[in-house]
Amino acid sequence: GPGAARRAFFAPGRVNLLGGHLDYNGGPVLPTAIDRGTFIAVAPRSDGRVRLASTFSEAVYDRPLRELPSERTGAWYDYPLGVVAALRRGEPERSKPLDSRFMDLGFDVLFGGNLPVGAGLSSSASICVGTAYALDASFELGLDALQRVGAALHAEREFVGVHCGIMDPYAVGFARPRQVLWLDCKDESFEHLPLDFASVSIGVIDTGVQRALARGEFNRRVAECAAAFEALRPHVPGATVLRDIPLEVLEAHESELDPTIARRARHVIEEVARTFAARAALEKGDIETFGRSMAETHASLRDLYECSSEELDVIVDAALAVDGVHGARLTGAGFGGCVVAFASAGVERDVERVVGDAYENRYGRRPPVAFFQGDEGPREIT
């Protein structure tokens, strides 16, 4: 629309290198942002309406800001709408509710982007954290980065209804160039670790296939881990999350657990140790060991957590056979979506060729392959 007050913003997506399905179990995770994400253009109005439109869907939300729905509508705009609803209610705590000036004005927001949606690259956290950032900047709401992340989390959990952990909005909201994020999901502390992007390359290969029931399967995994924790916590005084359960305790009581629950718990407990070991390798510059941990993570997600797919496994196996590829695993929740490959710089064309051939032989088409250099958190663009 017309008007000089338009401003534009960008928020990245992310891949998670280690710590698969650990965030909602209180474990450590190691994500990094990628330089693809969500573009957000904001223009204030003067009639108190909110209009949300996007370049990838016909559906437009257009209603008075004072008449926000209280739960999800089923449309793509549930994500930004959830953020607006969170900010309006003063969620997360400590952030002040949107003032009446904001409510009386209203705004138009146009969303676009270059992240595949629902492919495990955190398109949802990108749009949610980006929306919080764009509204904060446009209306001088005075939020800090943690409050913007909190609003994004509130939108996904309370409004959209996915029981997700904290990794994705933190990975998007706190990303720094040439660094990976070490986030301890038990106490929510985090630090940035350097990654030499001149010598390594992060590849993303998209299966283009997403299991229809992925959201339900994700929530089921969350519930299975909760059940594992409830069964094991009496044996570990002071334990507050599944991450606190030692492997010996699981092994002593494994036969008492439902076999599916036991497999989920084993993945989580071993993945915690693997993620700490991978961090130590990264800090020593040992990218081979770091990559090997990623490959082990994939095997565990495939066999114990059962969240891989045949297409993901074909890509991971093909990628790992390329000289110079140190690791590969599904990224995000799994059940389809993308593989992230961790490779030495210079082997990008080999990955594209070998993985493309393997996938084409099996499925008759070549998957999109892209390489990334990391990125920083949400910002205004011109």
Active site residues: 168
Q: Which of 14, 292 has the CB closer to ligand GLA? A: 14
Nearest partner of 91 among 174, 173, 153, 29, judged by Cα: 153
Least Å from the CB of residue 349 to ligand GLA: 29
Write out the two tokens for 365: 């088409």
165 is a site residue for ligand GLA (CB under 6 A): yes
Nearest partner of 90 among 81, 98, 82, judged by Cα: 98
Q: Within 13 A of 313's CA, how many CA atoms are on the CB side?
A: 11
- Window of 105-113, 159-167, 199-207, 290-298 that interacts with ligand GLA by CB under 6 A: 159-167
Q: Which of 40, 167 has the CB closer to ligand GLA? A: 167
Q: Which of 15, 322 has the CB closer to ligand GLA? A: 15
Cα-trace Rg, the chain = 21
Q: Which of 123, 138 has the CB closer to ligand GLA? A: 123
257 is a site residue for ligand GLA (CB under 6 A): no
Q: Which of 164, 339 has the CB closer to ligand GLA? A: 164
Least Å from the CB of residue 218 to ligand GLA: 7
167 is a site residue for ligand GLA (CB under 6 A): yes
Least Å from the CB of residue 316 to ligand GLA: 16
Least Å from the CB of residue 205 to ligand GLA: 17
Question: How far apart are the C-alpha atoms of 360 and 358, rounded to whole Å?
Answer: 6
Least Å from the CB of residue 352 to ligand GLA: 25
The stretches of the chain forming alpha helices (DSSP H) are 78-89, 100-105, 123-139, 145-154, 167-173, 214-232, 247-253, 259-283, 287-303, 310-320, 348-363
Q: Which of 172, 333 has the CB closer to ligand GLA? A: 333
333 is a site residue for ligand GLA (CB under 6 A): yes
Among 12, 203, 332, 378, binds ligand GLA (CB under 6 A): 332
Least Å from the CB of residue 18 to ligand GLA: 10
Question: How far apart are the C-alpha atoms of 48 and 303, rounded to whole Å?
Answer: 52
Nearest partner of 201 among 6, 381, 379, 32, judged by Cα: 32
Question: How far apart are the C-alpha atoms of 93 and 151, rounded to whole Å?
Answer: 9
Question: How far apart are the C-alpha atoms of 94 and 135, rounded to whole Å?
Answer: 17
Determine if the peptide bond prior to 259 is cis (ω within 30°): no
106 is a site residue for ligand GLA (CB under 6 A): no
Backbone angles phi, psi at 50, to 5 degrees: -120, 130
- Window of 147-155, 163-171, 172-180, 373-381 that interacts with ligand GLA by CB under 6 A: 163-171
- Window of 161-169, 191-199, 247-255, 268-276 that interacts with ligand GLA by CB under 6 A: 161-169
Least Å from the CB of residue 175 to ligand GLA: 15
Q: Which of residues 169-198 bind ligand GLA (CB under 6 A)?
A: none
In our burial notation (b when 16+ CB lie closer than 10 A, e otherwise), range 199-223 reads ebbbbbbbbbebeeebbebbeebbe
For 27-75, the DSSP string reads -EEEEEEEEEEEEEEEEE-SSSEEEEEETTEEEEEEEEGGG--SS--SS
How far apart, in Å, are the Cα atoms of 59 and each of 55, 101, 177, 258, 262? 10, 27, 34, 44, 43
**Mask 2-31, x = binds ligand GLA (CB under 6 A)?**
--------------x---xx-xx-------
Question: How far apart are the C-alpha atoms of 30 and 171, rounded to whole Å?
Answer: 9
Among 85, 115, 160, 164, binds ligand GLA (CB under 6 A): 164
* Total binding residues toward ligand GLA, as defined by CB under 6 A: 11
**Mask 285-324, x = binds ligand GLA (CB under 6 A)?**
----------------------------------------
**Contact residues: ligand GLA, CB under 6 A:** 16, 20-21, 23-24, 164-165, 167-168, 332-333
